[in-house]
Structure 1
């Protein structure tokens, strides 16, 4: 854990740089950023990193002991009037809540995607979508795209860093570790680890978001583990 810092010290440090990056985890409604985006003194831009919801569900299950409180909180916030087909055994509570959280996450993501598809004036030119799977497949190209979007120039050092972080040989057991890893393997690991019923449940919850982002449903259990068959197509954004 980082030690507590005086905000004035952090502000002084931030003001040394022309460009400041803030990582936000699951901003559930992009529209709440409107006042910041409309502020001309900030020149705020959004880089939205998305990932296959089935991979997200797999990650949440692997980290269920570290995320059990969040999973419960997210599940309890969902619309109780919605009626979904259930493919999971509700007696397995940890997995049920880990996958169930995807209903809320994907519903919120769908709201954001609808804003992206029909952007208000304040949103135009301020948003960039990046798929994790595209990033690990072509890290340097995606890096260039991101830097171009924010009007910066890449360097060999940052290119080497990105290549190193996505081309490692390790497979960290702790999802919260920040280390070089085999990102291509990580991107498809869910296909070997998730049961078909869990995949069906996530696809039920995330159908709209997946269709917009270019994530194809799994036709059958046989095709699930056939990694020669891509489950990606071009996003509609």
Structure 2
């Protein structure tokens, strides 16, 4: 009996009793091995579980980082320097919260015919300063014939708004009802370097020192006050010149305001020179003179000394021009008494400038003024102030700024005022003149003797 040979069965046939099906696709054989499949599926579960765990961990980290970033952004302005940030990852990569820019605000405290138009040009021409000329004029026009003292509070409120570059306050005193003011309708606009320069106007550039031509500025397109506000916000120094704040104590709330960084430059001039200039420009100051005279203190009211020459001409406008100095000098005296008492709210925020010192030493005075308000006197500005005080213009227009021999102009009163007028002004302004270093004269001859200086060192 022959031995039969039995072919060996594959292992899978032993286990399952039949041959597994094979599937072919693209010359590739895949054998459905259940044991192998179970192993593969087991590994996939582990991989899926691990992937799920990683996704959950990443999501939790992102959520935690979002909450921290939101909280730190909200509270960043209140964070103090001594707070520890050791537990905050990658803190050095975070940008710091922007700091509020600290502007230097300046008010030029002065009065009519004190050389303030020229002094204001030192800031109007400075490329880094935003300058406004006599904005409170609008209040006096709208509320005429209100007396000067009754308007002081409204003037302070206007300044508070303007120093924050809020020019909507102008609309409150718009004399043209139903019409919105434009840049060209603000008082002094045709001489304002910002309004007449790019980008509000194409005729001039703010960074180029030089007077502007009002006839050319009239051709500038009128812009909205919002456009002027946008320009105001670009400057670190805002300067306002005004002649209608009579006493520095009116500005005390603004000087004490921690949100404002306000300094006051007190521009003064010999009252006798102001009297002469006021007489020359009396027709342009009739309304202002009346409003100031209405503020006289009735308890100490004085009347101008009769001058036979002017009485014969029956011209009482001269008396109004000089009579207004009684009120003006009274409040200058109050300002000086406050300064001499050294209140805490004025410490480091007050500077007195005499017009006579400016025209005698223009460059050194310019540097001293700029240093006080944190500006730099460029060579162009130095050349400008020298040119403006040593020119040869004989313009008869009292409100026009032009290059002239300022030293000679400062002493013109000594040859043109009568002795009666000199005595009257000295009587009105005795205390102020003594503190500011202006010497009284004893005769008309002494006044006309131009070789004799009438200046001494001021007490402030």
Kept in 2: contact 1:165–1:180 (CA 8 A): yes
Distance 1:70 1:54 in 2: 19
Kept in 2: contact 1:85–1:204 (CA 8 A): no
Match of 1:3 among 180, 184, 203: 184
Match of 1:118 among 341, 352, 355: 341
Match of 1:152 in 2: 375
Distance 1:36 1:79 in 2: 26
SS state at 2:452 partner: coil
Match of 1:78 among 296, 302, 307: 296
The answer to whether 1:37 aligns with 2:255 is yes
Larger radius of gyration: 2
Distance 1:36 1:11 in 2: 20
Displacement of 1:216 in angstroms is 0.6
SS state at 2:237 partner: coil
Displacement of 1:13 in angstroms is 0.9
SS state at 2:337 partner: helix
The answer to whether 1:230 aligns with 2:453 is yes
The answer to whether 1:67 aligns with 2:289 is no
Kept in 2: contact 1:47–1:130 (CA 8 A): yes
Displacement of 1:86 in angstroms is 4.4
The answer to whether 1:204 aligns with 2:385 is no
| Structure 2 length-normalised TM | 0.50
Segments of 4+ moved more than 6 angstroms:
none
Displacement of 1:85 in angstroms is 7.3
CA RMSD of aligned residues (A): 1.7
1:124-170 CA-partner distances (Å, limit 9, x unpaired): 10000000000000000001111111122210011011111111112
Give matches, 1:20-35, under 5 Å: 20-35=238-253
Query: How many residue pairs were aligned?
Result: 237
1:34-84 CA-partner distances (Å, limit 9, x unpaired): 222222332111111100001111111000111112112212221122154
Between 1 and 2, higher relative CO (CA 8 Å, sep ≥ 6) is seen in: 1
Kept in 2: contact 1:84–1:204 (CA 8 A): no
Kept in 2: contact 1:88–1:198 (CA 8 A): no
| Structure 1 length-normalised TM | 0.95
In structure 1, the gaps of 5 or more residues are: none
Distance 1:171 1:228 in 2: 23
Distance 1:119 1:7 in 2: 38
The answer to whether 1:173 aligns with 2:396 is yes
1:171-197 CA-partner distances (Å, limit 9, x unpaired): 221110111111001110111111110
Distance 1:65 1:137 in 2: 30
Give matches, 1:93-104, under 5 Å: 93-104=316-327
Distance 1:38 1:69 in 2: 33
Match of 2:444 in 1: 221
Distance 1:107 1:157 in 2: 39
Distance 2:453 2:306 in 1: 25
